[in-house]
Chain A
């Protein structure tokens, strides 16, 4: 496929492939609305996903997966009925619509639903000339081979290299009873490298991981100036961990490096600001709009409109255009993230955060790219200001208990700070804190905001979606650090 991003491309895609036209879409929505319901929508999806992976120096296998289907949703008050099918035919649509509407017991009148013939205009954040899944597999195989050789050339302690290139091309189309007709074509690529190193005895082994990706052409990942630093970084982190000392345990001041440590925002406060938990009043942030939840100078935004970012979308999975939403402004909570259901039930506009893993899932309010705006402090000065603490540069994963507000995340690269100087590397440390007060403990904000490299995946209710995070260098006073050294 080499077509340009004509705004009607998603519509034409589903029309040509499955014979769907405005008339049968309108009649399916009509069936869904035959009971007393508030809204109905259809979500069509066709996704192709490729993966080529290398281990032990060779590409052992190639993968290719095609997923297609449609989900029909009906909303009545707080209730949602959902039916999905991997068959996209007029008949399967009718059955799904009849199933979904069963949540409303009362009969209503079926108003004819007007479905426009053209898509609503929206952003064009990631136009690509070629679908990444159309790139020749031989190019990917060659790339992985070069990455393997390069990693082994960097350090003789490298024992294993695992590398993969993943590409995805997704078409979605949303048709809703309020007249929404929106579509999106979403490319997504990602390059991963994992390096296992062993010390001279072979007894101590450590791993280093790096990734890179976004919504752009696969070609870009093939450029040596992009993948070489990635491989070098994975080798550096793995060998560094061979020297790492046991991490202290207890309450310490923590300096977070810029970029990927923004996962702190995602876990500590982002999930707590999603509209569903706040409507249900099960979030530690429920009912706190207008209150101070962070130190002065802290501004946090969720922005789905950044060009080519992994967390960006032209429209969300309910057809709402994405936008830049300010969540915390100069320390004060000013907004939640909403999908259509929670927006309607709480009387606010949707914010373009209605997302789903696939047609087989109900939309939920989810983050896109979540980051803190830059402050004014010099990063080296921030490190110098700490008497005894930890400098955490990169993280593995994190998790939050939204109701109690407690969150954790695990450092994959961290150092001791003694009297303002960065010292020995530390073994994986888990940091734990309380979401509603962690940002009140922010005492310094660097001027060096960085976004992550495009590898984030967020899980909620068992649904995985790609996201982005970002952070400037940040000092937080008094976080619990979960090491083994008393």
Chain B
């Protein structure tokens, strides 16, 4: 028999998990069509086209002390394959322990499904050739903008269209469509035999909302050239400025520490600080799953709960965790509609669109007010530990003397403790920039250890 699609696949999985002996269940289908392509110089590097569908199902089996559960997924959507996996899901659930916090949400399922501007239907007509032309223009602009741009890792475009269908045994069945488009340009600059790369990215739900490809190429080239002549600096304690591209990584670390899963597992250094001041009063952090056109927007979360706006930090005060149903039950709270879920995994709490509210200083002003310090343009390595809050990462950037950039810096590290860093933020820029679902403006941390020579 041929493969099922859409609601038919989800209904079949749900029905078969229940008839196999589950007391409650849910099913999630994600259908993706995508194209990805890269130009290097004026040559095509690759063109990739794909159609992918993955069906996930979850079974709950009641016991005296709670529910047992299992989750399975498959890309084989033939009815007989779905039926067989449904049986295995229930068998697997029976082998696990009873858990009093497990189970579907009792109520509060999304009723309204607002149009969040996740798709422009015109964009479905876009051809691979048109997207390749965008990449070609970015690549050409990068290479033409400076003689020191001699090479590149290429300019890459992506367009993906997806359809999400979710149903559970509490009677919820809904779906939505979304698209995402991106253009990423990564040129290589060379001077005196040393090479430096950098990148610029534009991404969004609508092609019309993307930056002009030539502007992306020029911006990426400027950034790569700016890194030429980089050198180390002596070890020092100085103010450190994070531009939006790197500031968003700090917000990502904070997101990991306000994640309900980390909190109930006692693996967040912020775990017992709800309601307390944990950061500079200049910091207000918002999560909003219904931001129109947002790359993290969706009308309902991975458990059918309506997405919403949640204030995470309010002028430095920790005002909410990000919760799914399970972590909320563990903590005696209610879900914040932040269940993230792919078809191949269980729901876990996570950010939707998460950002730091912009301040009023421009990036230029913040730089001018910094007598001596570091502007971080790139961070590498995995040197953040949410359990202790210790932070230590490899960095590259620009050295500041007398409020002006004097040279590029590389092969250094910056280190501190995330809690102390958040408390020491003394400037917040007005330049909030969206490269993905997590976004931040320019931030300045008053003092950090920069390790070099």
Contact = CB atoms under 8 A, between A and B. Distances in A.
A249 interface: yes
Interface string A52-78: 100110111111111111000000011
A469 to B, nearest CB: 16
Interface string B265-287: 11101000000000000000000
Given A62-B70, A62-B95, A159-B266, A480 B151 contact: no
Interface in A351-389: 360, 362
A79 interface: yes
Contacts of A196: 265-267, 387
B390 A162 contact: no
B415 A249 contact: yes
Contacts of B88: 64
Contacts of A399: 380-382, 394
B313 interface: no
Interface string B30-72: 0000000000100111111111111000000000000001111
A282 B44 contact: no
B97 interface: yes
B69 A61 contact: yes
A66 B235 contact: no
A429 interface: yes
Contacts of B237: 486
A360 B53 CA distance: 12
Contacts of A159: 266
Contact of B388 (A67, A87, A206, A480): A206
B21 interface: no
Interface stretch (B209-217, B239-247, B288-296, B405-413): B405-413
B383 A408 contact: yes
A480 B52 contact: no
A68 B75 CA distance: 6
Interface string B328-365: 00000000000000001110000000000000000000
B74 interface: yes
A62 B93 contact: yes
A266 interface: no
B45 A80 contact: yes
Interface string B172-186: 000000000000000
Contacts of B72: 63-66
Interface stretch (A163-171, A215-223, A415-423, A430-438): A430-438
Contacts of B104: none
* Residues of B contacting A: mostly: strand
B180 to A, nearest CB: 14
Consensus secondary structure, chain A interface: strand
Contact of B48 (A83, A250, A404): A83
B411 A434 contact: yes
Nearest to B154: A280
B50 A430 contact: no
A428 interface: yes
B250 to A, nearest CB: 16
Interface string B408-447: 0011111111000000000000000000000000000000
B387 A60 contact: no
A188 interface: no
A119 interface: no
Interface in B243-270: 265-267, 269
A409 B167 CA distance: 43
A482 B411 contact: no
A102 interface: yes
Contacts of B414: 482
Nearest to B198: A403
Contacts of A320: none
A282 B194 CA distance: 11
Given A83-B48, A280-B40, A404-B195, A249 B70 contact: no
Contacts of A293: none
A432 B381 CA distance: 9
A330 interface: no
A434 B196 CA distance: 13
Contact of B196 (A64, A103, A160, A403): A403
A8 to B, nearest CB: 23
Nearest to A429: B392
A90 B356 CA distance: 51
B6 to A, nearest CB: 15
Contacts of A87: 3
A151 to B, nearest CB: 15
Interface string B375-401: 000101111010110101110100000
B96 A61 contact: yes
Contacts of B451: 249-250, 432, 480-483
A65 B56 CA distance: 9
A477 B394 CA distance: 19
B220 to A, nearest CB: 13
A102 B235 CA distance: 54
A162 B411 contact: no
B197 interface: yes
A141 B230 CA distance: 53
A360 to B, nearest CB: 6
B394 A65 contact: no
B102 interface: yes
A428 B48 contact: no
A79 B46 contact: yes
A462 to B, nearest CB: 10
B71 A61 contact: yes
A103 B196 CA distance: 30
Nearest to A84: B50
A87 B53 CA distance: 9
Contacts of B235: 249-251, 486
30 contacts: A59-B95, A59-B96, A61-B346, A62-B70, A64-B70, A64-B72, A65-B72, A67-B75, A78-B40, A79-B43, A79-B47, A80-B47, A102-B128, A141-B97, A196-B267, A207-B387, A249-B413, A249-B450, A282-B195, A399-B382, A404-B196, A408-B383, A410-B392, A430-B381, A430-B383, A432-B381, A432-B451, A480-B453, A482-B392, A482-B413
- Of all A-B residue pairs in the complex, the 8 with the closest CB atoms, nearest first, are A482-B413, A408-B394, A408-B381, A58-B97, A249-B451, A397-B382, A86-B75, A430-B392
Given A82-B49, A427-B390, A482-B449, 8 more contacts: A65-B74, A141-B95, A249-B415, A406-B394, A410-B381, A429-B392, A432-B451, A480-B453
